[in-house]
């Protein structure tokens, strides 16, 4: 596995709050339905958000393929690249399904110019035994996809990095050398990417103790900011910065039991990170600049939260590269043999930069496991 020295990122908060989508043409909603193994697409997320009676109309487009038969999508394993008009679907077993022409594709597809596969690892031995792939995060301006992988007992976890993702040919294999982690970390669950190579953030439910420059000790769940295809490497537990850990963080971070699942989403326009952990009635928000504070300041308090008692079954989050929307999907808790099941309820925050509760909308999709907003309509 790859290890690297800490590289700090200095990212300033863009604090403008508002209720208007900054990119109104990028409002296409993509949802993977685990029941039908299809991608369902609505041209305007705002119409889904305001659906009469809280039930969305039928999707404007549906993409199906025999290649997707039996595919169990990783939680948060759907990403859309509006630059190359590709949909990336990451299965729990480590296959990436790439759908081209995302803005126009409709109906059954089979040609490898329309859908093709990539493999994380050359063979099964390159993947964790009794493990599952999880949330994917796309830096579309750098054309790089990141994918979390964790064993079901949480003991092994790492991130795969796939640079030049849109240029990889059908059936290309991503070598296991393109993985990175922090030695000793466990329960990898959430993943988010800033744009332009500015960094990738990983949420881990437990791990070795971390020491700051003042020799203060931190334990429990943590979020790392990595750059250049690596997280910081603590030297004998010591780390300079690029970590958020401590009692001031999201619910569950400081508990004795590990945080066994959670999710991250990143707002590139405001350099804001949305995070949640299992059973928490809130989504909390951090400024990216909080990762670069050294000294004894690893214990960072969220700058704000989206509190909502209906969030206790939340499993995954998604935020578009452009626009002021936040998506969430509920699901059952994982166990030692399964990652849990999704539901048909989509949570939508309109202008989450200004706070507020989510609106729950029922979709024709029967099991939502991944969703994204993008496209050019």
Q: What is the pLDDT of residues 155-182, one digit of tens each?
A: 999 999 999 999 999 999 999 999 999 9
The token duo for 217 is 């000790």
pLDDT tens digits for the chain (377 residues)?
433 333 333 333 333 333 333 344 479 999 999 999 999 999 999 999 999 999 999 999 999 999 999 999 999 999 999 999 999 999 999 999 999 999 999 999 999 999 999 999 999 899 999 999 999 999 999 999 999 999 999 999 999 999 999 999 999 999 999 999 999 999 999 999 999 988 999 999 999 988 888 888 888 899 999 988 899 888 888 887 899 987 656 555 656 578 899 999 999 999 999 999 887 888 999 999 998 865 567 888 899 999 787 788 999 999 999 899 999 999 998 988 899 999 999 999 999 999 988 999 999 888 999 999 996 54
Which of helix, strand or coil describes residue 374?
strand
Phi-psi region of 350 (alpha: psi -120 to 50; beta: other; left: phi over 0): beta
Give pLDDT tens digits for 8-33. Answer: 333 333 333 333 333 444 799 999 99
CB atoms within 10 A of CB 206: 22
Q: What distance in Å separates the CA atoms of residue 261 and residue 58, rounded to the nearest whole number?
A: 31
Dmax (CA) of the chain = 59
Contact partners, residue 73, CB within 8 Å, separation at least 6: 32, 34, 89, 90, 91, 92, 369, 370
Which architecture characterizes domain 28-374 according to CATH? 6 Propeller (2.120)
- Predicted TM-score (pTM) of the model is 0.91
Q: What distance in Å separates the CA atoms of residue 319 and residue 42, rounded to the nearest whole number?
A: 16
CA distances from 56 to 47, 143, 279 (A): 8, 32, 27
Q: What distance in Å separates the CA atoms of residue 206 and residue 216, rounded to the nearest whole number?
A: 17
DSSP state of 16: -
Q: Residue 181 in contact with residue 219, Cβ under 8 Å? A: no
How many C-alpha atoms does 20 have within 13 Å on its Cβ side?
A: 4
CA distances from 240 to 11, 22, 339 (A): 17, 36, 34
Q: What distance in Å separates the CA atoms of residue 321 and residue 270, rounded to the nearest whole number?
A: 10
b (16+ CB within 10 A) / e for 95-105: bbbbbbbbbeb
Q: Residue 344 in contact with residue 56, Cβ under 8 Å? A: no
Q: What distance in Å separates the CA atoms of residue 282 and residue 33, rounded to the nearest whole number?
A: 25
Q: What distance in Å separates the CA atoms of residue 274 and residue 304, rounded to the nearest whole number?
A: 10
């Amino acid at each position: 596995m790859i290890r690297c020295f800490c590289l700090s990122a200095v990212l300033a908060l863009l604090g403008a709050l508002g209720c208007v989508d900054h990119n109104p043409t990028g409002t296409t909603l993509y949802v993977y339905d685990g029941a039908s193994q299809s991608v369902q697409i609505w041209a305007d997320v705002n119409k889904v958000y305001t659906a009469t009676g809280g039930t969305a109309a039928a999707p404007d487009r549906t993409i199906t393929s025999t290649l997707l038969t039996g595919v169990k999508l990783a939680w948060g394993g759907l990403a859309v690249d509006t630059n190359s008009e590709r949909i990336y679907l990451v299965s729990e077993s480590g296959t990436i399904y790439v759908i081209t022409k995302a803005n126009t594709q409709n109906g059954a597809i089979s040609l490898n110019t329309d859908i093709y596969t990539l493999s994380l690892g050359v063979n099964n031995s390159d993947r964790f035994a009794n493990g599952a792939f999880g949330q994917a995060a796309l830096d579309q301006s750098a054309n790089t996809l990141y994918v979390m992988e964790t064993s079901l007992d949480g003991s092994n976890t790492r991130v795969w990095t796939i640079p030049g993702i849109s240029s990889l040919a059908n059936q290309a294999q991503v070598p296991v050398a393109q993985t990175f982690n922090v030695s000793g970390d466990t329960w990898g669950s959430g993943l988010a990417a800033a744009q332009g190579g500015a960094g990738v953030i990983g949420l881990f439910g437990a791990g070795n103790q971390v020491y700051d420059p003042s020799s203060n000790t931190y334990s429990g769940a943590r979020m790392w900011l990595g750059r250049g295809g690596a997280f910081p490497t603590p030297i004998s537990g010591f780390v300079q910065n690029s970590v958020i850990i401590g009692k001031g963080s999201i619910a569950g971070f400081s508990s004795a039991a590990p945080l066994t699942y959670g999710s991250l989403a990143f707002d590139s326009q405001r350099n804001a990170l949305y995070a949640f952990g299992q059973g928490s009635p809130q989504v909390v928000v951090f400024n990216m600049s909080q990762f670069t504070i050294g000294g004894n300041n690893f214990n960072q308090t969220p700058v704000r939260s989206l509190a909502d008692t209906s969030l206790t079954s939340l499993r995954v989050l998604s935020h578009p590269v452009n626009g002021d929307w936040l998506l969430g999907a509920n699901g059952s808790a994982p166990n030692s043999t399964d990652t849990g099941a999704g539901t048909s309820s989509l949570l939508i925050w309109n202008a989450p930069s200004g706070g507020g509760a989510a609106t729950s909308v029922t979709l024709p999709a029967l099991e939502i496991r991944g969703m994204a907003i993008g496209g050019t309509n």
